[in-house]
Structure 1
Amino acid sequence: MSDARGGVLRRSRKDADTGPRASFRELLPYLFEHRAALVAVAFLSLASAAAGLAQPLLAGQVVGIVEAGGTLGMLVWVLVGLVVVGAILGGIQHYLLQRIGTAVVFSARRSLVRRMLRLPISEFDRRRTGDLVSRVGSDTTLLYAVITQGLLDALGSAILFVGSLIGMLLVDAVLLGLTLAVIVIALASGILLSSRIRPASLQQQERVGAVAAAVERAIGAIRTVRAANATERETDAIIVEAEAAKRAGYKVAKISAMVVPIAGIAMQVAFLVVIGVGGFRVASGAISIASLVTFILFLFMLIIPLGSVFGAVNSINQALGALGRIQEITNLPGETDEDAAIEPAAPVSTSAAIRFDDVRFTYAVPPVSPEGTNPPISGGSSVQSVTNATDSAAGTPEPEIREVLKGVTFEVPRGSRVALVGPSGAGKSTVFALIERFYDPDAGVVRLDGRDVRGMPRDELRAQIGYVEQDAPVLAGSLRDNLKLASPEATDAQCIQVLRDVNLGAVLDRDPAGLDAPVGEDGIMLSGGERQRLAIARALLAAPPILLLDESTSSLDGMNEQLLREAIDAVAHDRTLLVIAHRLSTVVDSDIIVVLEHGEVVGIGTHSELVSSTPLYRELAKHQLLV
């Protein structure tokens, strides 16, 4: 094991104990993207502070003039002007901070989504979909809180707050009690005014939920998205939802910016009330004018950080924990990041469209955990096995290591129909996963037209293959959305024709929306057989030279199976079909049948040849291959 991998494993063990957590320094790049706005906020803070600090000075002069029996003149208007200017500057500053926080969340979501949809399939095998979705939704939202709840001046505000309370207590305990009462009234007023923000905040959360739903939709069908070369389009669709969430956040910021000045003015009015009471105490001889001015200065320094101190420390801690979870994903290598280091085998001259040469593949089945970690869908990798084994040293039960393919060798001649049969767990679906490069073999070579698939760009490889999964996932949206996933340029006429070819004309006709008819979440508005036929129609519409059909007729009755076989026969001319079959009717017409058992090829031939030569196949055929 290399030192680099050892470092990753040691860090994984530490994270398992303490959870991912980022440092404050790792938050800075997100802020530096908006440094111009941050400079503007800093400038407004200084200007607002200057306007505010001038107020107690003028207030002291007002008290002095009143005490001496003089005329105030324009001094009152200057003081009122400073109050209004300070409130306006505070509102603008608040709005900019809200915009920065919203933009930081958008940047984090964009980078996280771009990385997440490009992770190796093995990462989706071992991670929970809901956990990944929460990183895009809830965790990124916490970054917003840390920006808007006093990140820039949290420490200074805390010092001012505590120091002001101590100073006020030393100057006059009576005025301190009055000040605390004023603070309570101001907070109550702020809560009342903030009720206007609730509808806008609800809309913002709905948009955030839409982002999470879009991510879960793509991740739930990640194999189909990858096989259809639709990763970029799905990524762009999610980013569109994220942009809508950003706009909803800006709306909240605008409403907040209107509320904040009103709250600021209310606080300043309360501040003037304290001045009046303090003046009365001066007149009664309870305190001196100098003490009153000092107290007012402390009061002002108390009001400034009041909004940022509460919850600032907690929000920073939460945000750094959330940032650690975000970076845990963004720091993972993508599906193609390590391809440059792979040395593919030299091309060979062959008439085979697909060829397996002594292919071996191993994955680890993770133990069931309290957190509900997903088990691998159809395989993993050697690195996955090592990682899980290392986690077991930290207290996690050791996973089961299973060699799925054990030196598998066979060919699929170009333009032929080849069936893979065998008991459950024989490695049939893993064969498809290796062809699509969802995983790479531990040993041996998988070839497409004589080329090692590890030396082919993944987009080029997958553009030549139509893949229909066993579970036939249907993406939320319309019939058209599902059909055009791998064929975005297909016409409506082509979509309608392929639906009728797979006997889905009734689904098309029963809804006036036609191709725009919704299929529901996970295709809930379709039957199991309809979902399977829709997935097959999607692959047929793309018309690739190679079709991989994983038990594609398992949910169909006899009539629909026959209609579907006729449709596949019609498009299979001059194309290569590799079929995982469980029905004898699907197998008997195949040019070649490959029999797998416990990850090994135990027979290759036609139906009649295998019935006489291969006991396993003979037993499977006897039971109509229903395994």
Structure 2
Amino acid sequence: MEETVTADRVNLRSLWIWTRGSRGRLLCALLGALAGAGLGLAQPLIVNRTIEDATAGESVFGLLLVLAVVFSGQAALQAWSTFRLDQAGESIVRRLRQAMVDQLLRLRMAVYDRQRLGDLISRTTTDTTLLRDVLATDVANAIVNTIVVVGGVSMMVWLDPLLAAVVVAVTVGSGFVVGVVLKGIRRETVAAQEATGSLAADLERVLSAIRTVRISRAESRESAALAERNEAIYGHNVRAARLSAVVSPAIDLAVQGSLIVVIVVGLSRVSSGHMGVGELVAFLLYVNYLAAPMSGLFDIAPALQTGLASLERTQEVLDLPTETDRERHKPSQTDGSGLLLQGVRFRYSDREILKGASFHVPRNSYTAIAGPSGAGKSTVFSLLGRFHDPTAGAITLDGCDAHTEHTLGEWRARIGLVEQNSPLMYGTLRDNITYAAPDADESWLRQVVEMAGLAALVKRLPDGLDTAVGEHGSSLSGGEQQRVAIARSLLARPEILLLDEPTSHLDSAHEQLLIETLHRISAECTLVVIAHRLSTIQSADQVVVLNAGQVMASGSYDDVRDYLPTQHATA
């Protein structure tokens, strides 16, 4: 059975699950680190023997040579295992981050409506980076350090049980203090990461609307709001640091206290003959050697809390629902009947937006959907793009059901969409036009550029199609962005092209040009247009009037003009 994890049960086992695929590399690095630790544990024994031989007047050259080899071997193994652990950590984070990217690109549309994009981005970048050391290095070091401490304590017990008992007592007392503060550290760390995600989301909101911010003279107000978020992050991190500060004195107490006790008690035992000088030196070396692993174990505990908090936030994203296909049936034979909506209903939360809408769009026709704000026009487009599923009813194209006889990919390959805001990507004009069809041939690209009325723009730009359009297409006017979006959809040769008020950014001259373009396009594919302007409605072959989620009328402009909102009914 495949291992899985959800955000409500994130624990150390969850960290282990994400090491899948790198466990072989981690095991090799772990074995190398353990071998290096074993060489480190052997060094005090070699030193003890060297002191005894030197005291007895025997040659110690061979032992010094062995000691040098052991030192060198330990250093080499530590370097190799450290590199392998870092490599494994990067590999784990790469997989986790890619899983989050894939998840974010496939979330249900309703999820995007509820989530803040800046926070989702923060979880994908910042939180996964925090996990890197914890998933590989810290966990592996915890294992190695634990074994080293157990081995070292065992050797100390073998050398002198009384001194070993004293060291363990001091260490356990310090460990208890550290354990008390771990819960508070995780709580404050989670809160700090949540606040960081909120800051990223707010900053993304402000920067994406920077022109509105500037013209509204809202820089100071937004800066103050962001400062509150920043202050919250500071507060949580300071409280976490205050709790973490307890860890360092506890470690110092365990290490320094142990050394002092060993020196005082050990000298007494040497003078009484219960312990040799070499054994005392070896014991002190073990205490000193174990200081770093013990300190590491104390430090790893807060780090694990941070890692678990980060994993919890990333796992929340991985638990979000994604788009899924229903069971697909074998497509029925197409009949060329065009697009048909039959009794389509759609409920969002507790509000029913479409209430049994039905209308037919013939093939290669130009249909305008009109109606007052809130009538359900945009919802129809969301359903046609399969961004949402209808609550009831059916949508078919040439007799084939959109949901039961098409996968999402198959259906969307037949649909093109031009949104009212016409979002463009960072890159060149060519990148944006070929986005849905990157392998389109040059002749068809040029033809589409001409059809969308972009030929003059391409000729005017310094690098033609290879001119950069800026962030969100900022170097182009609204009308130019609209035509680029139309060209992008046309290049993929859709059977149905959905346009959400395509004339909203155009003046009267360009509006007329676009209307002529739409009629040319309708020879290539079926057009469905959300229309607010009278000219767009009048030029359509068919007008569908929506009101309060229902189809009030459909037909030519003259047939439906009495059902149109007042501003559309008269020229």
| TM-score, length-scaled by structure 1 | 0.67
1:350–1:73 distance in 2 versus 1, CA, 3 Å? closer
Deviation at 1:161, TM superposition (A): 6.4
Separation (CA, whole Å) in 1 of partners of 2:298 and 2:469: 47
Are 1:27 and 2:12 matched, yes or no?
no
Q: Which of residues 111, 117, 123 is equivalent to 2:99? A: 111
Task: Name the aligned partner's letter for residue 424 of structure 2.
Answer: V
Deviation track 1:336-360 (CA, whole Å, cap 9, x = no partner) reads: 25x12x889x969876411111111
Conserved 8 A contact 2:25-2:88: yes
Write out aligned runs for 1:340-379 (5 A): 340=327, 352-364=337-349
SS of the residue corresponding to residue 359 of structure 2 reads: strand
Separation (CA, whole Å) in 1 of partners of 2:102 and 2:88: 21
Deviation track 1:171-229 (CA, whole Å, cap 9, x = no partner) reads: 69xx9xxxxxxxxxxxxxxxxxxxxxxxxxxxxxxxxxxxx99xx9xxx9xxxxxxxxx
Conserved 8 A contact 1:149-1:311: no
1:73–1:586 distance in 2 versus 1, CA, 3 Å? same
Deviation at 1:75, TM superposition (A): 2.3
Are 1:292 and 2:281 matched, yes or no?
yes
Partner residue in 2 for 1:313? 301
Task: Name the aligned partner's letter for residue 594 of structure 1.
Answer: V
Are 1:593 and 2:543 matched, yes or no?
yes
Task: Name the aligned partner's letter for residue 107 of structure 1.
Answer: R
Separation (CA, whole Å) in 2 of partners of 1:574 and 1:293: 88
Deviation at 1:77, TM superposition (A): 2.4
Conserved 8 A contact 2:367-2:528: yes
SS of the residue corresponding to residue 106 of structure 2 reads: coil
Partner residue in 1 for 2:186? none
Relative to structure 2, which stretch is displaced further, 310-319 or 535-544?
310-319
Separation (CA, whole Å) in 1 of partners of 2:98 and 2:389: 28
Partner residue in 1 for 2:89? 101
Separation (CA, whole Å) in 1 of partners of 2:438 and 2:334: 34
Are 1:537 and 2:487 matched, yes or no?
yes
SS of the residue corresponding to residue 432 of structure 2 reads: helix
Q: Which of residues 310, 327, 334 is equivalent to 1:322? A: 310
Deviation at 1:449, TM superposition (A): 1.3
Are 1:143 and 2:131 matched, yes or no?
yes
Deviation at 1:156, TM superposition (A): 6.8
Conserved 8 A contact 1:419-1:594: yes
Q: Which of residues 470, 490, 493 is equivalent to 1:520? A: 470
Partner residue in 1 for 2:568? 620
Write out aligned runs for 1:155-166 (5 A): 157=145
Are 1:40 and 2:28 matched, yes or no?
yes
SS of the residue corresponding to residue 345 of structure 2 reads: strand
User: Could you list the runs of 5+ residues in structure 2 that have no partner in the other structure?
Assistant: 168-199, 209-258
Partner residue in 2 for 1:376? none
Conserved 8 A contact 1:543-1:571: no
Separation (CA, whole Å) in 2 of partners of 1:508 and 1:135: 39
Conserved 8 A contact 1:149-1:312: no
Separation (CA, whole Å) in 2 of partners of 1:508 and 1:312: 59
Deviation at 1:574, TM superposition (A): 5.0
Deviation at 1:533, TM superposition (A): 1.3
1:58–1:443 distance in 2 versus 1, CA, 3 Å? same
Deviation track 1:19-44 (CA, whole Å, cap 9, x = no partner) reads: 75512223323223122212212321
Deviation at 1:506, TM superposition (A): 4.7
Write out aligned runs for 1:23-102 (5 A): 23-102=11-90
1:349–1:57 distance in 2 versus 1, CA, 3 Å? closer
Deviation at 1:534, TM superposition (A): 0.8
Conserved 8 A contact 1:150-1:309: no
Deviation track 1:51-95 (CA, whole Å, cap 9, x = no partner) reads: 112211111123234444544323222212211110110010100
Partner residue in 2 for 1:413? 362
| TM-score, length-scaled by structure 2 | 0.73
Separation (CA, whole Å) in 1 of partners of 2:370 and 2:495: 22
Separation (CA, whole Å) in 2 of partners of 1:130 and 1:319: 21
Partner residue in 1 for 2:292? 303
Deviation at 1:554, TM superposition (A): 0.6
Separation (CA, whole Å) in 1 of partners of 2:464 and 2:298: 55
Deviation at 1:153, TM superposition (A): 4.6
SS of the residue corresponding to residue 131 of structure 1 reads: helix
1:310–1:492 distance in 2 versus 1, CA, 3 Å? farther
Deviation track 1:491-520 (CA, whole Å, cap 9, x = no partner) reads: 344334433443334543454433222222
Partner residue in 2 for 1:195? none
Partner residue in 2 for 1:446? 395
Conserved 8 A contact 1:503-1:560: no
Task: Name the aligned partner's letter for residue 291 of structure 1.
Answer: L
Conserved 8 A contact 2:90-2:132: yes
Percent identity of the aligned residues? 39
Task: Name the aligned partner's letter for residue 409 of structure 2.
Answer: D
SS of the residue corresponding to residue 540 of structure 2 reads: coil
SS of the residue corresponding to residue 93 of structure 1 reads: helix
Conserved 8 A contact 1:21-1:323: no
Separation (CA, whole Å) in 1 of partners of 2:360 and 2:465: 39
1:356–1:317 distance in 2 versus 1, CA, 3 Å? same
CA RMSD of aligned residues (A): 3.7
Separation (CA, whole Å) in 1 of partners of 2:567 and 2:100: 50
Deviation at 1:118, TM superposition (A): 2.1
Deviation track 1:539-595 (CA, whole Å, cap 9, x = no partner) reads: 122232221111111111122222222333223215311111111111112111111
Task: Name the aligned partner's letter for residue 576 of structure 1.
Answer: T
Separation (CA, whole Å) in 1 of partners of 2:113 and 2:423: 16
Deviation at 1:408, TM superposition (A): 0.7
Relative to structure 2, which stretch is displaced further, 291-300 or 499-508?
499-508
1:22–1:79 distance in 2 versus 1, CA, 3 Å? same
Separation (CA, whole Å) in 1 of partners of 2:333 and 2:466: 46
Separation (CA, whole Å) in 2 of partners of 1:297 and 1:574: 82
Conserved 8 A contact 1:104-1:143: no
Conserved 8 A contact 2:343-2:356: yes
Separation (CA, whole Å) in 1 of partners of 2:133 and 2:313: 16
SS of the residue corresponding to residue 49 of structure 2 reads: helix
SS of the residue corresponding to residue 420 of structure 1 reads: strand
Conserved 8 A contact 2:375-2:549: yes
Separation (CA, whole Å) in 2 of partners of 1:589 and 1:147: 62
Separation (CA, whole Å) in 1 of partners of 2:297 and 2:12: 18
Task: Name the aligned partner's letter for residue 440 of structure 2.
Answer: A
1:619–1:526 distance in 2 versus 1, CA, 3 Å? closer
Deviation at 1:300, TM superposition (A): 1.6
Separation (CA, whole Å) in 2 of partners of 1:97 and 1:479: 44
User: Could you list the runs of 5+ residues in structure 1 that have no partner in the other structure?
Assistant: 1-10, 176-211, 221-273, 365-400
Task: Name the aligned partner's letter for residue 453 of structure 2.
Answer: N
Separation (CA, whole Å) in 1 of partners of 2:450 and 2:382: 29
Write out aligned runs for 1:449-488 (5 A): 449-455=398-404, 456-488=406-438
Separation (CA, whole Å) in 2 of partners of 1:327 and 1:519: 36
Conserved 8 A contact 1:171-1:295: no
SS of the residue corresponding to residue 150 of structure 1 reads: helix
